[in-house]
Amino acid sequence: MIAQFLEALALTDVTLIGNDSGSAYSQIAATTYPDRIARLVLNSCETPECSWPPGPGGFGLLKATAAHPATYRALYQALRIRRTWRWRNTYGWLAKYPIDARAMESFIGPELTDPAIRHDGRKAIGSVSARYTREAAARLTERFAKPILLAWAAEDRVFPLAHARRFAELRDAPLKTIPDSYAYTAEDQPAKTAAVIIEWARQPPWEIG
């Protein structure tokens, strides 16, 4: 779908940025359909050492409940209660600070109210596997010659910074940390996240590395 989106809009020289498990999909897209992608930013996400869904925080429960529509729907019903938004296995370990209520409602509202979106969400989470991200990571290391940046939350509780360091060394890619943030750096520290990415992307191609 990412590749189809880029094609539909006739986008080229794209800087593809993925956060959380969106970056798992970005790794797969970049290594499977690389033609329109010029740079890749991996922002606090799965590395070859991570499971998918990630293990810390209990996110594996998502895939387990996706086995049946009733259990998947039941899991999301708890999010109707605002205090559950800060639980570690919802958003509490992904964002260091509470996410704006309107933004949160945009995240969870479609899953709660639209059966078609809930069906697609269940299908997506039920099919994820670390096998796909590890295969993509191997291709990034061996055959993807385009620039990669690892932009990581300095206090990430779900995707360990140590994993990012080792992955960066494998690819000889720069690793930049974003302070005072968990994995959702664009929520916790939007200005700092943007600055890190912009500074890197503006470097001349022979320096971007």
What would the two tokens of residue 83 be? Answer: 């205090």
**Tell me, what's the pLDDT at 207?**
60
CB atoms within 10 A of CB 181: 24
In angstroms, the CA 119 to CA 157 distance is: 29
Per-residue pLDDT tens over the stretch 86-130: 999 999 999 999 999 999 999 999 999 999 999 999 999 999 999
Residue with tokens 């992608």: 37
The residue ranges of DSSP E strands in 115-169, in sequence order, are 148-153
Inform me whether the pLDDT recorded for 208 exceeds 70. Answer: no
Q: Report in angstroms the alpha-carbon separations of 184 from 70, 180, 189, 193.
A: 29, 11, 8, 10
Average pLDDT, the chain: 94
Is the CB of residue 46 less than 8 Å from the CB of residue 133?
Answer: yes
pLDDT tens digits, 35-92: 999 999 999 999 999 999 998 877 888 899 999 999 999 989 999 999 999 999 999 9
Instruction: Give the model confidence (pLDDT) of 118-165 as tens digits.
Output: 999 999 999 999 999 999 999 999 989 999 999 999 999 999 999 999
Q: How far is CA 5 from the centre of its chain?
A: 18
Burial of 100 (0-12, 13-18, 19+ CB in 10 A): exposed
pLDDT at 165: 97
CA distance 94 to 88: 8
The pLDDT, as a whole number, for residue 122 is 95
| Region 178-187 average pLDDT | 98
Q: Which pLDDT does position 60 carry in this prediction?
A: 84
